[in-house]
Amino acid sequence: MNLWHQLIGSLPGEWAQLEFMRLALLAVLLAAPLYAVLGCLVVNSRMAFFSEAIGHAALTGVALGTLAGLADPTPAVLLFSALLALVIAWLRRQSAVSSDTIIGLVMAGAVALGVVLLSRGGGFNRYTHFLIGDILTIAPGELARLAALALATLLVWGLLFNKLFLATLHPVLARSRGVNVWAVEALCSVVIALVVAMSIAWIGLLVINSLLILPAAAARNLARSTAAHLAWALLFSFLAGVAGLLISFYAATATGATIVLAALLLFLLTLPFRRH
């Protein structure tokens, strides 16, 4: 950790002299590969709406954590999001209604519940920092948690990549090969939910989903293979994260949303190179 501070502290620019910027940069670098990897998954398996729903529904997790008297509602958010991911996965299998309808109604229900719980006593505005997020005040302890989550996610992803890939591309073939499609899908939903839930305090639940899908979508414009897709997504994710952080410092804007705009810009720049 000291090494990191020394290393970044030797860079030019006012931001590099500030401890909170160095910590925020580390957070961005830890989270970027996570978003890239999961983003590819989300984009390929058309789960963008699902991750959006999880991000918004995290509001209810915040509410439940606050009601339970937790000073930091993150554990409640993690638990609630994971549970919700399983509920959505289960409903998708059970119900005759199409999947986007299921996700839509679960999201609306969860957001409404969150607003109702938080507005009891009329103080909803006090929770706006969860809508915008705040990566600048990330504490060393939270960085450790983020690193652990990143490690666990990459591990699951590495172990299950082939099965996951097959299950999303060709469920019937996957089933004939003995892959438990539902279990794989559910696990992957839970991992996405955990990453989204963990990040909302830093990025804000209004824009968290775009960090997941924009770099992967931009990468898809350029990539000709699965490996290239991943590589481009990683590059864009890092690029948008670092650029957004630095721009937000000099422009005095909310960091999470600035990172999202940087990612959107990358997407627009890659649009002309799209393969038809």
Partner 1 sequence: MLCCALLTLVANAAPLRIVTTFYPLQIATLNITSNAADVVVSNLTPPTSGCLHDYQLTPADLARLAHADVLIINGGGLESFLEKARRTAPRAKVIEASAGIELLAGNPHVWVSPELAARQAENIGAALAKLDAQNAELYRRNAAAYAARLRALTEKMRAGLKGVAARQIITLHEAFPYFAREFGFTIAGVVEREPGAAPDARELADTIKLVREQQVRAIFVEPQYPTRSAEAIARATGAKIATLDPAVTGPVSAEAYLQIMENNLAELQRVLK
- In single-letter form, the type of residue at position 191 comes to V
User: Amino acid identity, residue 17?
Assistant: Q
- Is the Cβ of residue 36 or residue 62 nearer to partner 1 in the bound state? 62
Residue 4 or 182: the one with the smaller Cβ distance to partner 1 is: 4
The rounded distance, in Å, linking the Cα atoms of 99 and 47 is 10
Question: Which residue, 119 or 180, has its beta carbon nearer to partner 1?
Answer: 119
* In the block, residue with structure tokens 């390929």: 44
Which ranges of the chain does DSSP label H, i.e. alpha helix? 2-9, 19-44, 48-67, 74-94, 99-119, 128-132, 140-169, 171-176, 181-203, 208-222, 226-251, 255-270
Contact pattern for partner 1 over residues 178 through 207, marking x by CB under 8 A: ------------------------------
Instruction: Supply the minimum distance, in Å, between the C-beta of residue 206 and partner 1.
Output: 13
Q: Which is nearer to partner 1, 125 or 225 (CB)?
A: 125
Whether 269 contacts 217, CB under 8 Å: no
Query: Would you list the DSSP string of 129-167?
Result: HHHH--STT--HHHHHHHHHHHHHHHHHHHHHHHHHHHH
Q: Please pick, from the candidates 1, 11, 13, 19, the single residue that binds partner 1 as defined by CB under 8 A.
A: 19
Measured from the CB of residue 249, what is the shortest distance to partner 1 in angstroms? 4
Site for partner 1 in 213-232 (CB under 8 A): none
Q: Which of 53, 23, 52 is nearest to 255 (CA)?
A: 23
Q: Positive or negative, the Cα torsion across 196, 199, 201, 202?
A: negative
CB 194 within 8 A of CB 79: no
Could you tell me the two tokens for 249?
């410092």
Which parts of 246-265 interact with partner 1 (CB under 8 A)? 248-250, 252-255
Q: Which of 18, 117, 166, 239 binds partner 1 (CB under 8 A)?
A: 18
With beta carbons less than 8 A apart as the criterion, state whether 167 and 184 touch: yes
Count of residues that bind partner 1 according to CB under 8 A: 31
State the nearest-atom distance from the C-beta of 207 to partner 1, in Å: 14
Kindly tell me which residue out of 15, 50, 236, 267 binds partner 1, with binding defined by CB under 8 A. 15
For the record, the structure tokens of 141 come out as: 């302890």
108-147 mask for partner 1 (x: CB under 8 A)? -----------x-xxxxxxxxx--xxx-xxxx--------
Interface residues for partner 1 in 57-116 (CB under 8 A)?
Answer: none
Return the number of the residue (55 or 204) whose C-beta is nearest partner 1.
204
Give the residue with the Cβ less far from partner 1, 164 or 201. Answer: 201
86 or 111: CB nearest partner 1: 111
Name the minimum Å distance from CB 34 to partner 1: 22
The number of residues in the chain equals 276
Q: Which residues bind partner 1 (CB under 8 A)?
A: 14-15, 18-21, 24, 119, 121-129, 132-134, 136-139, 248-250, 252-255
